[in-house]
Structure 1
Amino acid sequence: MVSRTGKKEISKTMTMNDHITQFLHYLSVKNFSPRTIEAYQHDLSKFVEFLESLNRANVKTVSRDDIGLFLSHLKNEGYKKPNSAITMARKIASIKSFFKWLTRRKVLKENPAIDIETPKIPEREPSYLTQEEYQRLLATVKFKATPYYCLRDLAIVGMFLGTGVRLSELVGLKLENINLQESQESICVRGKGNKERTIPLNANVLNALATYLKKRPEVESKFLFLSRLGDGLSTGGVYHLIKRYLKEADIKKEKVGVHSLRHTFATSLLNNQNVNIIHIQQLLGHKKLETTRRYLHINDLDLRNAVNSLVLTKK
């Protein structure tokens, strides 16, 4: 539809779902990860469903109170298990980003979500494995898996423990991302914000990887790690694979999972006094140094011992 001025009257005829589709396209153009875009899509679709149940699914008339009602609904109604602070924070972030985008595009004059507060997320110390635990994990993979899957899964676990890659980064690895040239052995991963980083490979990872590659089927798929059908692995598949091995290895820790292996990599490096925390930040692909600091596992006794070790005057 075109007005007398010749301008397209887009916002007057578009539904909220139409705006969400454009918003998700914008995120894709800005190189947000598919996983992040999927989360935004899920959160915003639930928001629209709720507004439709109240007959208020009009982007022009959504109010702060409507958003507040939706958040109350998430906490109290229709959910067997209440949403955690982390989940609530993500859903609020999705809504705030969407309305901020609408305001910037002049679809809305005022942002109804601008004053919505994000719940404070309790900071948990990252869960990581001790040397005995990750040795037990590797032994479990060797014992439990069939010959081919043993080689693949040992390479996967070794990659997590030896490079600290994220789950999405590992399943996205392709053969072209592997550099096995002598003295330059490394992988190139695409992390958050579509940023690339190079991670060196140590002897243990190289050995596991080389052994797997010798037995890797010759298929069209260019992904490094293959499923039973010969295509790339899914994040869900690897997530459940690692959870199963951790359970079979009898590693019982709170929130232990794939991310614990990444934490183990970071913690092992930090325990090496010769490794600079800035280097670890780069290897992990952390945007903020504060995120890397969480792996220090400093307690009150460590702080007291550090202070007591200072020698300021000669005896």
Structure 2
Amino acid sequence: MDPLVTRYLEHVRFEKRLAERTCTLYRLDLMRLLDLAQAAKLTLLQVQTGHVRRWVAHMHSAGRSGRGLALILSAWRGFYVWLGREGLMTHNPVVDVRAPRGGKPLPKALGVDEAVQLAEHLEHDDDPWLEARDAAMVELLYGSGLRVSELTGLDVVPSTEAARAGRGWIDVPQAEVQVHGKGGKRRSVPLGQAALQALAHWLPLRNQVPGMLMQPTPGASSTALALFPGRHGTRLTVRSVEQRLKRRSQLAGLSTPVHPHMLRHSFASHLLQSSGDLRAVQELLGHASISSTQVYTRLDFQHLAQVYDAAHPRAKRQ
């Protein structure tokens, strides 16, 4: 171990009081730096920006991810900042070096059968009030592609207060949900037959929250207007929706826990697979740019590739 590295690790451990795991990762990253410098016949104090750029390029070509390289560079950068404070370096060779941008991971979507399995799951041992509410939430997340924040912000009727507070509402007679999305933009999304049936079952039960005044009128309070209240009478939180959905997916026997945004991804992916209309999917999702929606074309191709690999006799090499 180089004495400078040893001193720096003592500094981050005892003076900065970083976690033991972080110190261990710093040690590994600095040992990598030391190995690279020694291979180039350099001391750590002789390293220049050009050397760092070449090493990063080499590690990237060897398969290191952009995120992994960013973490390595962060450790190296901190080390050279410390050397500068100690008066041992007049420049930081890492300061202007950035890791290559990693590819954006594809969103995770359920298969059609899994999404239907989740939506149609019925938990007989659960509270009927909770079961009806959760079923309606799943149908809106998957059937209309809502963000979870848009879901929790829905009211049962439109109101002036809802408009000021940035909330949406359901319009059952028109089979639409009026959504208040990102950037204050409003959009109308159709309610499918399954969602309408789930809401028809849920809305009469919704008013049965003990001790809660449920008055779905334009002058009512935010709590009374909430389409999806909790058992204590308050508007359901995003975290509560996440927990209920995770529980439902496990009880339904799905192989992976489901989070709300996975249902939005599933809505977009399945709609695009069936229609091929990218612009319509963009409008329904409320994306400001078509580039945000185009990721689902990659998901669609991934699905086709999987079908090809599984079925075509020439797909796999012997």
**What TM-score, normalized to structure 2?**
0.55
Matches within 5 A, 1:97-176: 120-175=101-156, 176=158
Matches within 5 A, 1:235-254: 235-253=238-256
Paired position in structure 2 for 1:293: 294
CA contact (8 A) 1:141 1:153 kept: no
CA contact (8 A) 1:141 1:245 kept: no
Q: CA deviation at 1:118?
A: 7.9
Paired position in structure 2 for 1:198: 188
Paired position in structure 2 for 1:280: 281
CA contact (8 A) 1:171 1:234 kept: yes
CA contact (8 A) 2:245 2:258 kept: no
Q: CA deviation at 1:204?
A: 1.0
Name structure 2 gaps, 5 residues minimum: 1-14, 26-65, 72-95, 159-167, 208-212, 215-220, 309-318
Query: What secondary structure does 1:271 align onto?
Result: helix
Paired position in structure 2 for 1:97: none
CA contact (8 A) 2:110 2:263 kept: yes
In the alignment, the residues of structure 2 paired with residue 204 and residue 276 of structure 1 have an alpha-carbon distance, to the nearest angstrom, of 22
Q: CA deviation at 1:291?
A: 1.7
In the alignment, the residues of structure 1 paired with residue 24 and residue 243 of structure 2 have an alpha-carbon distance, to the nearest angstrom, of 27
How many residues matched?
A: 204
Q: CA deviation at 1:290?
A: 1.8
In the alignment, the residues of structure 2 paired with residue 248 and residue 285 of structure 1 have an alpha-carbon distance, to the nearest angstrom, of 31
Distance 1:118 1:190, change over 3 A: farther
CA contact (8 A) 1:128 1:256 kept: no
Distance 1:76 1:133, change over 3 A: same
Name structure 1 gaps, 5 residues minimum: 1-52, 55-71, 90-114, 306-315
Q: CA deviation at 1:227?
A: 0.2
In the alignment, the residues of structure 2 paired with residue 227 and residue 259 of structure 1 have an alpha-carbon distance, to the nearest angstrom, of 20
Query: What secondary structure does 1:143 align onto?
Result: coil
From 156, 171, 180, give the equivalent of 1:180.
Answer: 171
Q: CA deviation at 1:126?
A: 1.9
Q: CA deviation at 1:159?
A: 0.5
Query: What secondary structure does 2:187 align onto?
Result: strand
Matches within 5 A, 1:206-285: 206-217=196-207, 218-219=213-214, 221=223, 222-253=225-256, 256-273=258-275, 276-285=277-286
Q: CA deviation at 1:231?
A: 1.2
Match of 1:194, as an amino acid? G
In the alignment, the residues of structure 2 paired with residue 167 and residue 216 of structure 1 have an alpha-carbon distance, to the nearest angstrom, of 19
RMSD over aligned Cα atoms:
3.6
In the alignment, the residues of structure 2 paired with residue 282 and residue 133 of structure 1 have an alpha-carbon distance, to the nearest angstrom, of 25
- Deviation digits for residues 246-287 of structure 1 (CA, Å, limit 9, x no counterpart): 12222224x7421111111111211213x5211110111112
Q: CA deviation at 1:155?
A: 0.3
In the alignment, the residues of structure 2 paired with residue 122 and residue 247 of structure 1 have an alpha-carbon distance, to the nearest angstrom, of 30
Q: Identity over aligned residues, as a percent?
A: 30
Q: CA deviation at 1:192?
A: 1.4
Distance 1:300 1:140, change over 3 A: closer
Q: CA deviation at 1:185?
A: 1.9
In the alignment, the residues of structure 1 paired with residue 97 and residue 206 of structure 2 have an alpha-carbon distance, to the nearest angstrom, of 51
- Deviation digits for residues 2-47 of structure 1 (CA, Å, limit 9, x no counterpart): xxxxxxxxxxxxxxxxxxxxxxxxxxxxxxxxxxxxxxxxxxxxxx
In the alignment, the residues of structure 2 paired with residue 118 and residue 197 of structure 1 have an alpha-carbon distance, to the nearest angstrom, of 38
Larger Rg: 2
CA contact (8 A) 1:151 1:212 kept: yes
CA contact (8 A) 1:142 1:154 kept: no
Q: CA deviation at 1:180?
A: 3.2
Query: What secondary structure does 1:187 align onto?
Result: strand
